[in-house]
Amino acid sequence: MINPQALVAPVIETRRTVLRPHHLDDFDAYVAMWADPAVTRFIGGKPRTREESWMRFLRHAGLWSLLGYGFWAIEDKATGRFIGEAGFHDLKRNIVPSIEGVPEAGWALVPSAHGQGFASEVVGRVLAWGDEAFGRARTVCIIDPENTASLSVAAKCGYSEVSRRCDDPAGTAALRVAVCHPVVLIGPNRGFLGLPLQHWPSA
């Protein structure tokens, strides 16, 4: 089960990657990734500054320390290079329906790692860790509906669409898709997407 006193991410592996804590040596590659429009197109819509990336980078340590879960740095076994990050967070998003308190999965890879199956491989491993850590509690992720690559990854890993919402009541912001992994894993003590417990589907 989850360890709320975990100080750093545990090291886990996939066939081609090592998932490990972020290191200071990763930071320049991290900044480059989040400054690339190909990465941020569907994640916030604009490249991050070095300062913004630093705040995000620091957040990873805080998540693990306070919640016992967070994001891993993704290291390519073949090259030893940082190629992205994946994991869970709780951003206390002010959205309806609410997902506060539900681990939210996310992932991002450097463009050179796109289209090679790394995302599905890594997200599958992260979710396997989550299944053990969170027990039968659900997780969610939020994906831009035009981000077909990430929607495909989510579907391969057992997510299905349950809700769409708009950030901007005027309709100018992109819709997001909230999806849940997997349908049969339901926590007995958690609400789901703003629904009272009695309205959760049964396992």
The structure tokens listed for 98 are 């609410």
Q: Do the domain assignments include residue 104?
A: yes
Q: Do the domain assignments include residue 6?
A: no
With a cut of 50, say whether residue 191 has pLDDT above it: no
The position carrying tokens 């992205």 is 84
Q: How many Å separate Cα 11 from the centre of its chain?
A: 17
Which ranges constitute the DSSP H helices of 26-147? 27-34, 37-40, 50-67, 118-134
Question: d(Cα 190, Cα 203) in Å, to the nearest integer?
Answer: 14
**Amino acid letter for position 39:** V
Q: Do the domain assignments include residue 4?
A: no
Tell me the pTM: 0.82
Residue 49 sits in which domain range? 12-195
* Residue pair 174/167 in contact by the 8 Å Cβ criterion: yes
With a cut of 60, say whether residue 173 has pLDDT above it: no
The structure tokens listed for 144 are 């831009």
Report the CATH number that the domain containing residue 77 is assigned in CATH. 3.40.630.30
Angstrom distances, CA of residue 18 to CA of 15, 32, 41, 102: 8, 20, 26, 25
Q: Do the domain assignments include residue 67?
A: yes
Q: Do the domain assignments include residue 166?
A: yes
The structure tokens listed for 110 are 């450097």
What are the two backbone dihedrals, phi and then psi, of residue 185, each rounded to the nearest 5 degrees?
-95, 105
The structure tokens listed for 15 are 């066939």
Question: d(Cα 18, Cα 78) in Å, to the nearest integer?
Answer: 10
With a cut of 70, say whether residue 179 has pLDDT above it: no
Q: Within 13 Å of residue 16, how many CA atoms lie on the same side as its CB?
A: 16
Lowest model confidence (mean pLDDT) among 54-58, 94-98, 129-133, 135-139: 94-98
Q: Do the domain assignments include residue 202?
A: no
Q: How many domains does the chain have?
A: 1
Q: What is the pLDDT of residues 87-114, one digit of tens each?
A: 999 999 877 667 788 899 999 999 999 9
